[in-house]
Amino acid sequence: MSPQSRARQIRDVVFVDGVRTPFGRAGEKGMYADTRADDLVVKCIRELLRRNPSLPPERVDEVAIAATTQTGDQGLTIGRTAALLAGLPRSVPGFAIDRMCAGAMTAVTTTASGIGFGAYDVVIAGGVEHMGHHPMGDGADPNPRFVTERLVDPAALNMGNTAENLHDRFPDITKERTDAYAAASQEKLAKAYAGNQIQPDLVPVATKKAGAGWTLSSVDEGPRPGTTVEDLATLRTPFRPHGRVTAGNASGLNDGATTALLASADAAEELGLPVKMRLVGYAFAGVEPEVMGIGPVPATEKALKQTGLSIEDIGLFEINEAFAVQVLSFLDHFGIADDDPRVNRYGGAIAVGHPLASSGVRLMTQLARQFEEDPSVRYGMTTMCIGLGMGATVIWENPNHPEYNTESTEASK
């Protein structure tokens, strides 16, 4: 070893801030039908810089942006192009990530690892999905070996079918339970909006429609407040005759973008940046693609084992609601009630929407705000299922908790 070399130490990583655009409905009638995907990301990056004026733009070391369909207006190494379009110095590099639904979550964990290793001090990580411009699977060409060699059931390429498979595997998760959970998600989101708990982290977007001129979009387009279990019971089951998965107990098709600002604890202190959460640990896991919704279970077990925590230590859960059955399979596994107040306090993707690669940072932003509201909670979790059979879990610590100490690595042992 060279005399000049020094032993590297793992550094604490903190979540400084997170923002998102309002989520729109995908399609010609959606509010972002005539808005570019990369412009949505640019809005978020600029808002992060505006909200954190003590951060010199040249101190951003990396921009990692995820997209599931990396083509058109969300292609061309979107992390780099969005950085340039947002006005960051040309010295700031960027890259693109694809882990389907967990794209933004992977952007966070990947760059956070770089911070912990010492490669970066400050990063911007997030995701975008314009499902109106780029429907899920658009342009994809799955290898025929998946079918000919029976590597994966062809139904696994349709996420709705995998949700029906989860119902088959767990018959105790009935349609009545999933509809009740979905109605509660809508109610919780409406309550969060009424309490101004969502709006502070939304970036208004000026949108233009042919023949209608410009509009400032400042709220999510998908929520259906007032939805009842009776309403949901009437919806058709498009993935299987007499099935259990409907448009009402699943997330919609959406457009939107998210970004987060991450830093080392030392850099945050140096630059006078706020600390909203501390990263404790994370894990990804693979499962059978045919039941991809169960992915958060092994990912969470893995993350808990790595951090030395138990499920009882987690005081808040932000679980991406791709499908109600997927959330309930997680809750049942860990013995958590359907209506546990620790779970998705602001509602979830069933109500607000799920623009695939962007959703991971929405979970984090909402958890950070809940940490601020509830200092009694020390640890929280963001977790989600991932298409083609994976799960992702990230565990965070609340800096508002009396026992929080950014100098301590006790929680990571």
Residue 168, CA distances (Å) to 174, 325, 327, 337, 374 in order:
10, 10, 15, 20, 38
Provide the token pair at 233: 């019971």
Q: Of 134, 242, 385, 401, which one is the catalytic site residue? A: 385
354 part of the active site = yes
First to last CA, the chain: 28
- Kindly tell me the burial class for residue 150, based on how many C-beta atoms sit within 10 Å of its own C-beta (0-12, 13-18, 19 or more): exposed
Q: Of 130, 134, 167, 354, which one is the catalytic site residue? A: 354
Residue recorded with tokens 């970004």: 259
What sign results for the dihedral spanned by CA atoms 262, 123, 319, 10?
Answer: negative
d(CA 260, CA 90): 20
The β-bridge relationship of strands 213-217 and 94-97 is: unpaired
The alpha helices in 210-295, defined as continuous H runs, are 229-233, 265-271
Tell me how far the alpha carbon of residue 292 is from its chain's centroid.
Answer: 16
385 part of the active site = yes
Q: Look at residues 366, 337, 332 and name the one whose alpha carbon lies nearest to residue 349.
A: 366
d(CA 276, CA 370): 10
Task: Give me the long-range contacts of 301-309 (CB less than 8 A, separation at least 24).
Answer: 302/393, 303/381, 303/393, 303/394, 303/395, 304/395, 306/281, 307/280, 307/281, 307/395, 307/411, 307/412, 308/411, 308/412, 308/413, 309/280, 309/379, 309/395, 309/411
Provide the token pair at 13: 């990583």
101 part of the active site = yes
Residue 3, CA distances (Å) to 6, 7 in order:
8, 11
Burial 321-333 (b: 16+ CB within 10 A, else e): bbbbbbbbbbbbb
Q: Of 101, 133, 134, 167, which one is the catalytic site residue? A: 101
d(CA 222, CA 203): 16
Looking at the annotation, which residues are catalytic?
101, 354, 385
